[in-house]
Structure 1
Amino acid sequence: MKKINVAVIGYGFSAKVFHLPFIQACEGYNLVAILQRSSSNSLKDFPEVPIVRNIDELLHLPALDLVVITSTNSTHFEYSKKALLAKKHVIVEKPFTTTLEQAVELTDLASRLNLVLAVYHNRRFDGDFKTVSSILEQNLLGQLLEFHSRFDRFRMQKKNPHAWREDPNQEGSGVLFDLGPHLIDQAVALFGVPNTVFARVSNQRMLENSSDDAFSLVLDYDIPSKTSSPGTLTVILSASMITRIKPPRFSLFGTNGSFVKYGLDVQEPTLISSSIPVNHPLFGIDPQENWGEVDTSIGSLHLQGKIETLPGTYISFYENVRDTINGTSSLIITPQHAISAIKIIDAAFKSAKLSAPVSIDQ
């Protein structure tokens, strides 16, 4: 297998926690450079990997195949476009871009140049989401009517007074652009693009000079019905910074039963602590006390109890991109999926401003 030469733009939390561990662990990648505009702290962890100072220097590296973009949201479009025009494959952190027009332009450009463009919606590979997907595929709950997905934290002040993610003057800041892509992409993967979105987006903590820190999106889908009018699946996606007592991560309600799951996927805290290598058999394994609970009927049987969480596998993202570049697979998370997420975010901001549902073009 030919090694894919990779350069990473940025050396913050995203690069160190969500990308570099998998570039190192996944067979077939070779890290050739890290872009840091001023600092050189990556040399402490990667003393043999050269630092470059700007995008043009990076794109002129010999034999570079893939650019991984982990810099601020406002740079995603510019850096992705420059990398694609330089005939490089691209992985870009979520959100894909900050506007729908930018997302469409990049997708068209990658397609025209026959390059791989992958958006890092890694939460597709959360163990809890994989479990939910399997429950729905196996129809354990009957016809699903209501789906709740939350991503909550408790932090009453800004994490960092100078953090761009919470600066309302920064393009692509706020929790809807930060956590929204995760929840929205999962919903799109399960159900497709909704008919409408009704949204509330707010600065719930009422902090001065702060971007949005909470959202609640209600997505409506048509489902088959025995009556003359279609039934409705309601999907509620929300995030908040004021949840000291955490509500369920997932709540699913169907005609035959329900499934409720508490606790966030274990991969992020494991990566932060470096307590388990990413290629270790125990990586991504949810502790039994966090397994979700099901109460449902299957035929004439009533089933109640816990369902073991499937292993989380963020490394699958990098394996899939590698195989797609090598021509042996196709992207699991396509640019069209990422466009759908941006489309829904765009509609959510409009809905919040209007205090009314907004239709979404399919």
Structure 2
Amino acid sequence: MNPINTALCSYGMSGLVFHGPLLEAHPGYKVSKILERTKHESKDKHPGSQVVRNFDAIIDDPDIELVVVNTPDHLHVDMATRAMEAGKHVVVEKPFTLLTSEADQLIEIAEKHGVILSVYHNRRWDGVYRTVKEVLASGKLGRMVDFEVHFDRFRNYIKASWKDQANGTGTLYNLGSHLVDQALTLFGMPDRLFCDTRMLRDGALTDDSYDLWLHYPDFKCMLRSSYLVREPGPSFMIHGTEGSFLAWGTDPQERDLKDGLIPGSEGWGLDPSFSHARIHTDFEGKHIEGDYPLLAGNYMEYYDNIYEAIRNNAPLEVTAQQARDVIRVIEAAYESSRTGEVVRLD
């Protein structure tokens, strides 16, 4: 492999947990520079990288090929623009942008400079989600009539983090962008939507809960998140004319990355104690009821694809246009919550 010289634009949770370990373990990448304004926290895990103090040290380096813009949301547009104008390929942490017009602007810049632009929608490689795709494709449930997915957490206090401050972008952008991306990947754009966002925690300064209804002609689709769910129910509930599929838990990869496990190691992306699923249906003349085996998740596949796109001109798995559509839905969802009305997307 010809490693891609890569730079990380921050080393908070995103750099430490989601991007750094994958890039360090992947033979197709060399993490050459990491932007840390004042600290040197990346040196233990990335001893071969240079810590830099400003963004210019990344985009002015002719050896840097790929820039991972994993900074607070409001910085994405400026940093991605500057990197692409310097001829760098760019991966942007989700959410892509805050406005659809900004996403359109970045897409135009990428096309102008002939660089790759993608967004880190890693939850497409969750094991439970991959299993959901397999169940739907198999037709085991008959014609689907109801699709509901939850991405909940329990944190009943306000953190001293930009995400929880007044200029934070809220749970619909933070967690919701994953669920919207999954829904659009499965079903395409809905024709209309309705959304209710709320600030439920004491002292909340930005939304920490939402219910987002996406309307499709033949079925209902509900996406929900809240930071006040201590005892979570199913993460996926899918009902069809022949039966139901339910899954509990989240993907173990986030926990394993936090614990310092090596991506791609034995048993990676699969932990029956962390998530499980059940099915109850009639299919091909047989009654099926019981536990359903989950597929393994693998976030490394996202960076496999980025490597192939940069080195071998392979098509992107997550395109900027797809990520732009996610922002279009989120913008419309906030409009719906603000007005209390259904918003059409056609």
TM-score range, shorter chain: over 0.9
- Asked if 1:52 is matched to 2:52, the reply is yes
Q: Pick from 229, 241, 257: which aligns with 1:271?
A: 257
- Per the alignment, residue 157 of structure 2 pairs with 157
How much has 1:142 moved relative to structure 2?
Answer: 1.0
Question: What do residues 24-63 of structure 1 show as CA deviations (whole Å, max 9, x unaligned)?
Answer: 1112111110011222222343333111121212111131
Q: Quick one: which amino acid aligns to residue 284 of structure 1?
A: G
Letter in 2 for 1:208: G
1:159-209, Cα deviation, whole Å (9 max, x unpaired): x2x211011234xx211111011000000010001111100001012x225
Alignment partners' CA distance in 2, 1:306 and 1:85:
51
1:350 to 324, 335, 342: 335
User: Per-residue deviation at 1:306?
Assistant: 1.3
In structure 1, what residue type is equivalent to 2:103? A
1:338 to 295, 316, 323: 323
C-alpha distance in structure 2 between counterparts of 1:97 and 1:53, whole Å: 24
2:151 counterpart SS class: strand
Quick one: which of 181, 186, 190 aligns to 2:182? 186
Which among 303, 309, 315 is matched to residue 324 of structure 1? 309
Give the % identical residues: 35
Matched, 1:140 2:140: yes
Query: Does residue 314 of structure 1 match 2:299?
Result: yes
Q: Which amino acid aligns with 1:104?
A: D
Corresponding position of 1:239 = 225
Do the aligned partners of 2:252 and 2:274 also contact (CA within 8 Å) in 1?
Answer: no
Given that 1:288 and 1:308 are in contact with CA atoms closer than 8 Å, whether structure 2 keeps it comes out as no
* Alignment partner, residue 360 of structure 1: 345
Aligned partner of 2:86 in structure 1 is 86
Q: Bigger CA drift: 211-220 or 324-333?
A: 324-333
Give the residue type in structure 1 aligned to 2:30: N
Task: Answer yes or no: is 1:295 the counterpart of 2:290.
Answer: no
Aligned mates of 2:166, 2:290 — CA distance in 1: 45
Separation in 2, partners of 1:29, 1:48: 12
Q: Deviations over 1:128-163 (max 9, x none)?
A: 0000001111111111111001011111111x2x21
1:122 maps onto 2:122 in alignment? yes
Show the counterpart of 1:214.
Answer: 209
Given residue 28 of structure 2, which amino acid in structure 1 is its aligned partner? Answer: G
Matches within 5 A, 1:34-49: 34-49=34-49
Q: Which residue of 1 aligns with 2:29?
A: 29
* 8 Å contact from structure 1 (residues 127, 286) kept in 2: no
CA displacement 1:292-339 (0-9 Å, x = unmatched): 100111132111111111000000000000001112521111111101
1:49, 1:124 → 2: CA distance? 29
Where structure 2 has 5 or more consecutive residues not aligned to the other structure, the ranges are none
One-letter code aligned to 1:214:
S
CA distance in 2 between counterparts of 1:297 and 1:23 reads 44
CA shift for structure 1 position 103: 0.5
- Tell me the CA shift for residue 286 of structure 1: 2.7
SS at match of 1:220: strand
Whole-angstrom CA distance in 2 between matches of 1:241 and 1:289:
19
What is the match of residue 228 of structure 1?
A: none
Q: Given residue 210 of structure 1, which amino acid in structure 2 is its aligned partner?
A: L
Which secondary structure state, in structure 1, belongs to the residue aligned with residue 150 of structure 2? strand
Q: Which amino acid aligns with 1:301?
A: K
1:237-292 per-position Cα deviation (integer Å, ceiling 9, x unaligned): 00011111111000001111100001011110111112x32121211013167321
Conservation of the 8 A alpha-carbon contact between 2:6 and 2:31: yes
Name 2:65's counterpart in structure 1. 65
Matched, 1:204 2:190: no
Count of residue pairs brought into register by the alignment: 346
Structure 2 residue identity aligned to 1:221? Y
What's the offset of the Cα at 1:7?
Answer: 0.5
Q: Label 1:318 to 1:203 Cα distance change in 2 as closer, same or farther (>3 A).
A: same
